[in-house]
Amino acid sequence: MNTIILYIRNTRLKMKVIRVLMKNNLYYIEASNPDELFIKLDFSKYASLMIMDHKEDEQEPDLSVLVRANLKKLPILWIASDKYAYRLPDRIKLYITDILLIPFNENTLLRKIKAILQIYNKEFAKAYEEVRSLKKISTNQNNNIMEAIKSAIKERFPVCLILLNIAGSTMELNLQVLNKLKSILRQSDEIIETDLGEFLILFPYTPHKSMQILEAKIRNAVSPIVQEAFADPDIKIFGANYPDEIDTFNELISRLAGGVS
């Protein structure tokens, strides 16, 4: 379900937009000031579009609002008169998806909303498919991990596994975290998404002190991303070496699970 966030300060204009949304069964929530808007952005799980207006006493849109919406990957439809629309600096244009000029008719507004939502939904669907296409495992004796461990042991090459758990994650957040992990780790390190908010990372054998450094590196990399999604993020990381510290695969999985529980 798409949720449209309205940040429209002009009451008359807001009522006109709401009338169009209600006629077409489009769900919306309102925010009247930046603080309220930021809360709505943080907690609206299905936010798909933000519609905002130009306020007469503003020289240009509030950059903090634009940046916050952009961090949530939220397209922005800006409503303004041509007097202001054509004077936007480039640094502001970067954040605005489309502009609706005043005066406008209801059909034009609806057409722009539907076009933006269609693009947003396609991009979300693409991201969802990318997440689904990743190697999936469960934490109880999955073949991918077992084969990796067996192969490592056969070659007399112990391995290190680190489990990363992010409580309450979403598909979009999973994708952001995955991309971040890929950017900070070596190509030879295998990152496997086990579930929403759960990643298992396979390294060569790593001495305990070095493993702690790796855990800190991972935490420092993903924390800013998770903090944008949750006011009070819950990130747990735990690593173990196999077979030096653990005798059996089941024991390894149990220890990893216990470390993040």
8 Å CB contact between 77 and 112: yes
* Partners of residue 78 on adjacent β-strands: 52, 99
Cβ count within 10 A of residue 6: 21
Identify whether 75 is preceded by a cis peptide bond (ω within 30 of 0): no
CATH for 135-260? 3.30.70.270
Beta bridge pairs of residue 201: 162, 191
Q: Is the pTM of this model over 0.85?
A: no
More confident of the two residues 179 and 261: 179
Residue 172 pLDDT exceeds 50: yes
Whether residue 192 contacts residue 135, with contact meaning beta carbons closer than 8 Å, is answered with yes
The model's pLDDT over 179-230, given as tens digits with 9 standing for 90+, comes to 888 888 876 677 777 677 888 887 776 676 777 888 888 889 899 888 888 8
Residues facing residue 80 across a β-bridge: 101
- CATH number, domain 3-132: 3.40.50.2300
Quick one: what percent of the chain has pLDDT higher than 90? 2
* Residue 240 pLDDT: 74
Q: What residues does each domain of the chain span?
A: 3-132, 135-260
Average pLDDT, the chain: 75
CA distance 148 to 46: 38
**Cβ atoms within 10 Å of 21's Cβ, excluding its own:** 17
- Establish whether domains 3-132 and 135-260 are of one fold: no
